[in-house]
Amino acid sequence: MENDEESYNFCKNLPKIELHAHLNGSLSASILQKLGCSSEDILGYQKLTQQVFAQEKRLQECFSLFKIAHNSTNNRKAVYEATKYVVEEFRADNVIYLELRTTPRREENMTKIDYIEAVVKGIQDAQEGIITKLLLSIDRGHDLKTSEESMDAIIKMKKKYPSIIKGVDFCGNPNVGSFNCSLFKQARDNGLFVTLHCAEVKNNSEVDQILRFEPDRIGHGTFIHPKYGGFQEGWTLYKQKIIPLECCLTSNVLCGTVQCYKEHHLQEWIKNSLPFSLCTDDKGVFGISLSKELALAKKYFELSREHLWKITYDTVDYSFASNEEKKTLKEILEKWKLKNLF
């Protein structure tokens, strides 16, 4: 049996694929500092984070934390730099393919188009040793007019940067708003992949709607299986559709939607050989890395090194990369396996 350190070192060394990372949730203390946040503000942010995760209703409160990150990315230069730093941190964790997602935001001196341009430029300027794609998010708390405006901007920018902007995401506080099928159909009709946060809280009718929409991937998928607060029809439907799951272990545990790592619904995916990938969600807010998440999955679900490698390898297929890029990523992983697993 290997110890935690050996396990972490293996996970760190493994070339990884990250499919679910929110830009502003990924800002680490060191990035916030580089963006000009004072040490006092950063300390305050860290204290607040600890307080939020110690509370009963922490999922609800968690969304207030993003305001602090948003304050430090309220202009084009900061958005550009934040993107570059985040990509570089993933690269330093040995992530070779990253799908970064973010909600286009309008600020005093920045339109949503400016925001997207700044993120794209940040991605373009941090291409060394990593392939990064961009998914643009629709916040479920926004009204229809705002969401439609965002979708127009997203579609326009997808046409301008087709090899970087690959998809749309549906995120935000799961206790507010609702899924709008026709909005996401518009995205799909315009060649965008669709990934949707789904069942982060109990909402059987929305789970049913989302699964029938058949997105390319879903995020979290917590309240689907009846054993984890879901419902039998939902789980049966999921097993018919077989949509890859973006699994965010620490995010779910810290937000309190899952009791503990051992009790995570991921075990149903493992037991039933259903498709999933391991992701960070908000590595800055949760103080984690993708390597740490892999090591946690290895520990709590007793996965072998080969199994962890295979999860990573299969994740390539769930990504929104081009076929050529997928081939390259698989070759990297195959070579790595020959050198490190035999």
d(CA 220, CA 276): 10
Question: What helix, strand, coil percent values describe the chain, rounded to 5?
Answer: 55, 15, 30
CB of residue 20 vs Zn ion: minimum separation in angstroms? Answer: 6
Cβ–Cβ < 8 Å for 7, 303:
no
Stretch of residues binding ligand IMP (CB under 6 A), selected from 16-24, 180-188, 226-234, 319-327: 16-24
Stretch of residues binding ligand IMP (CB under 6 A), selected from 3-11, 17-25, 225-233, 320-328: 17-25
Closest to Zn ion by CB, 76 vs 217, is 217
CB of residue 172 vs ligand IMP: minimum separation in angstroms? Answer: 4
Q: Which x/- pattern over 97-136 shows residues binding ligand IMP (rule: CB under 6 A)? A: -----xx---------------------------------
| Known active-site residue 200 | yes
Closest to ligand IMP by CB, 172 vs 234, is 172
d(CA 311, CA 294): 10
CB of residue 228 vs ligand IMP: minimum separation in angstroms? Answer: 16
Residues of this chain, 265-284, that bind ligand IMP according to CB under 6 A: 281-282
Question: Residue 140's closest CA among 37, 36, 216, 63?
Answer: 63
Q: How many CB atoms lie within 10 A of CB 13?
A: 12
Candidates 18, 117, 200, 206; catalytic one: 200
CB of residue 24 vs ligand IMP: minimum separation in angstroms? Answer: 3
Cβ–Cβ < 8 Å for 202, 230:
yes
Residue entry with tokens 């991937």: 217
Cβ–Cβ < 8 Å for 195, 319:
no
Indicate which single residue of 7, 72, 137, 222 sits in contact with ligand IMP (rule: CB under 6 A). 137
Tell me the residue type at 231: F
Tell me the residue type at 282: D
Strand ranges for 36-192 from DSSP E? 95-102, 131-139, 165-171
Closest to ligand IMP by CB, 122 vs 230, is 122
User: Could you list the residues that contact ligand IMP (CB under 6 A)?
Assistant: 22-25, 66, 102-103, 137, 139, 171-172, 197, 200, 251, 281-282
Active site residues: 200
